[in-house]
Structure 1
């Protein structure tokens, strides 16, 4: 807490030469910097002042000074920002001179944002959105990070929390005044609320999963038997000759990655070793890596030859992919329709989608690309989508388990006390997402990933 009382300073702009360099100071000693560096007693708040900057009583530069008295600032503390010419030597001279003022120190990574959170200017998800905006690698990532910053996730969690609180009130009221409440009617109402919470939570989890995909990119893994056309498809989608293409089975033995953008959304395409029975040790290692990639994929493109029978296709899926079907959408790419004289088409079924193409003749490729845009990209992006992190998903999955366990226990035992404890734990988990309940280790882990000036 003593460290929190210090006034902090750091460069906001990156190191290097540029037209502008910005220094930020936050804390009670910011007013002393005005007197020490600007030779003034005060500044008009939220007004751009063009002034000389002093270094040991000598004018070292002229620039813009902005003064934001607490609590109307980014951090909730007194904040002074100095904008001068972007020369690293100049910025360091100014900072080192300001550090001579007692009670001012260099900021830790992310400390400005941490103070904004601790002073309740933002919740934890909104602070994390700032880092997402800075690191965004696509237009979609920027807009989704801004949605997180504007509280899209916070609003969903607030609505979910309201239902949780109402449920807790009902339960506590029953435990306190059970003689006044019809138990049968009460149980029905509780179960209806639990079902509502489960459906609501599933929807939130869907948004979070999509947000992670936008932030980190959508991962599409190409799998299938040797010589089915995986490497050729990789080269076609990425418009690069990345994978070696031959008619020799087992040519691709290592995992090949390539990042592309489609409609401003980052997509990682992975070419893998052909799946088959083999005694070649190197090829076996390649196939093992294939299954490691499958576990981390968002979509699987199973590339096979169009002449393969449905029976053999079912055997491949049952033997190699049965453990992934529930969690990862599988798109069957039936390649080489030029040899079977079939027409390019897309067939939708309850289990998976089948797309018939010829990579060699470039037949049906437009269908494939339109499928990626409409059924994969559009499914994972919309104007309300927000960026998300794995920690949100871990917490929400934990809450889902509590809800399912609480519902099942309540159905089997009608125990109000057990359900009450599960609901209490759910609310505690929810508060850890937004930061109403947090540990110092969690904060240190989050803010250590920020740059020093943020």
Structure 2
């Protein structure tokens, strides 16, 4: 069982052979490690000390030693870092020797970062940013994760929280001293603040949605009838001959994946089997796999021939798609305008975005790519963007519901007490994002996904 009073030790560099291997130790027993492994009673803090490392009283290696006394360290505890040669056997010998000291044990995954959080060196979003930096798969993801680590998201949340607290203070003051204030004037001030909170929160939610795109990437699935041009579109967007293109219906029977980057955002393009009634068992299996994959997609590009009738198009949407999808945007790609002699264009209506193009003649492709860049991968000002997680979005959506409900109830009943309770729920949900009000199970789930030495 984890005890924070234990001193923890772990590799901070990956397994394998390398020129340098780093062993990190954090806790009250760091001084004992200095005495036991370095045979010294004192070393200069925050200074690169070149020293000998001892294993069972024999010198086993020499390297750099860094000591950070508490509270001026990453974890807020005493931290010692041993930079030895990156040989796994050498590092294991040192670690196994050091854990012979009482109350020193191997760290759990993410335990160094967890201690930094528990010791209030970082909040929970900054702790999660560490994992994002390590796993970032694009340039944008690296800088966005660093923005999260530097507290850009925390700053937005704290500014929002300040307004909530100010509003709660005003309400409590009114309830305590209401005889001194004009109620009608007070209600107008409250509504102005609630409107300001709504606009601020919508802006934060936009940032978070963009952050999720940058971190997790976007999945675009190409679906539609056979021979509509899905495979050709896949090859065109990715600039690779990935999908086989023929005039034979049912050529694509499996799901094909390819990753590209647009606006530094990772995008997975997915080509699928043609949707149609068929007796071919292999083709039927391919179609079934499509609908299992749909729920994991962010966008569906429904590729059809431009000459398709509205009746047949509605049949595909209503009979196939609406049964399986909810809240996934559908973009209709009307291909083969070279046959219908229509012009390339993009049409926005209440239900769908429609893009008319010709893959064969490469007409309207720029319209499609601009749509992807401007509407799907658009990330506001990338310099201010931070990576984000679904849990942030879930909490913020819940906060928005509390805010809208509180505003409606206040307009309907003018009950300040009910509004005060909704604001209290909002503040608690905000604190759950940064970790000020977070269950132990959630903490363990988050930090268990980290590296051992982090």
* Aligned Cα root-mean-square deviation (Å): 2.6
Q: Which residue of 2 aligns with 1:113?
A: 113
CA contact (8 A) 1:214 1:381 kept: no
Q: Which residue of 1 aligns with 2:203?
A: 203
2 CA distance for matches of 1:318 and 1:165?
48
Q: Which residue of 2 aligns with 1:393?
A: 393
- Pairing 1:194–2:205 present: no
Which range is displaced more, 47-56 or 221-230? 221-230
Partner SS, residue 4 of structure 2 = helix
Gaps spanning 5+ residues in structure 1: where?
none
Q: Which residue of 2 aligns with 1:54?
A: 54
CA contact (8 A) 2:51 2:64 kept: yes
Q: What aligned pairs does 1:286-305 form with structure 2 within 5 A after superposition?
A: 286-287=286-287, 289-305=289-305
**How has the CA–CA distance of structure 1 residues 101 and 403 changed in structure 2, closer, same or farther, with 3 Å as cutoff?**
same
Deviation at 1:413? 1.9
**How has the CA–CA distance of structure 1 residues 423 and 278 changed in structure 2, closer, same or farther, with 3 Å as cutoff?**
farther
TM-score of the aligned structures, taking structure 1 as reference length: 0.91
Q: Which residue of 2 aligns with 1:163?
A: 163
Deviation at 1:73? 0.6
Partner SS, residue 5 of structure 1 = coil
Deviation at 1:290? 3.8
Deviation at 1:278? 6.1
Q: Which residue of 2 aligns with 1:264?
A: 264
Which range is displaced more, 208-217 or 230-239? 230-239
Deviation at 1:241? 3.7
Partner SS, residue 377 of structure 2 = helix
Q: What aligned pairs does 1:37-436 form with structure 2 within 5 A after superposition?
A: 37-276=37-276, 286-287=286-287, 289-308=289-308, 313=313, 316-317=316-317, 327-347=327-347, 352-379=352-379, 382-436=382-436
Partner SS, residue 3 of structure 1 = coil
1 CA distance for matches of 2:411 and 2:331?
39
2 CA distance for matches of 1:132 and 1:313?
42
Once the two structures are superposed, residues 317-339 of structure 1 have per-residue CA deviations (whole angstroms, 9 ceiling, x without a partner) of: 56666699994444332211222
Deviation at 1:58? 1.1
Deviation at 1:36? 1.2
Once the two structures are superposed, residues 349-404 of structure 1 have per-residue CA deviations (whole angstroms, 9 ceiling, x without a partner) of: 66554433322333443443344334433346622111011111111111111112
CA contact (8 A) 1:46 1:67 kept: yes
2 CA distance for matches of 1:17 and 1:136?
23
Q: Which residue of 1 aligns with 2:16?
A: 16
CA contact (8 A) 1:223 1:301 kept: yes
CA contact (8 A) 1:343 1:356 kept: yes
Deviation at 1:312? 5.6
Once the two structures are superposed, residues 94-145 of structure 1 have per-residue CA deviations (whole angstroms, 9 ceiling, x without a partner) of: 1111112112111111110001001111000000000000011111111111
Gaps spanning 5+ residues in structure 2: where?
none
CA contact (8 A) 1:334 1:356 kept: yes
**How has the CA–CA distance of structure 1 residues 383 and 322 changed in structure 2, closer, same or farther, with 3 Å as cutoff?**
farther
Which range is displaced more, 266-275 or 308-317? 308-317
2 CA distance for matches of 1:235 and 1:97?
57
Deviation at 1:440? 1.0
Which range is displaced more, 118-127 or 353-362? 353-362
Which range is displaced more, 408-417 or 317-326? 317-326
CA contact (8 A) 2:140 2:382 kept: no
Deviation at 1:5? 0.7
CA contact (8 A) 1:299 1:328 kept: yes
Deviation at 1:276? 4.7
1 CA distance for matches of 2:329 and 2:437?
36
CA contact (8 A) 2:213 2:377 kept: no
**How has the CA–CA distance of structure 1 residues 237 and 27 changed in structure 2, closer, same or farther, with 3 Å as cutoff?**
same
2 CA distance for matches of 1:403 and 1:431?
16
1 CA distance for matches of 2:225 and 2:169?
58
Q: Which residue of 2 aligns with 1:31?
A: 31
Deviation at 1:446? 0.6
TM-score of the aligned structures, taking structure 2 as reference length: 0.91
CA contact (8 A) 2:291 2:324 kept: no
CA contact (8 A) 2:129 2:145 kept: yes
Deviation at 1:32? 1.3
Which range is displaced more, 199-208 or 329-338? 329-338
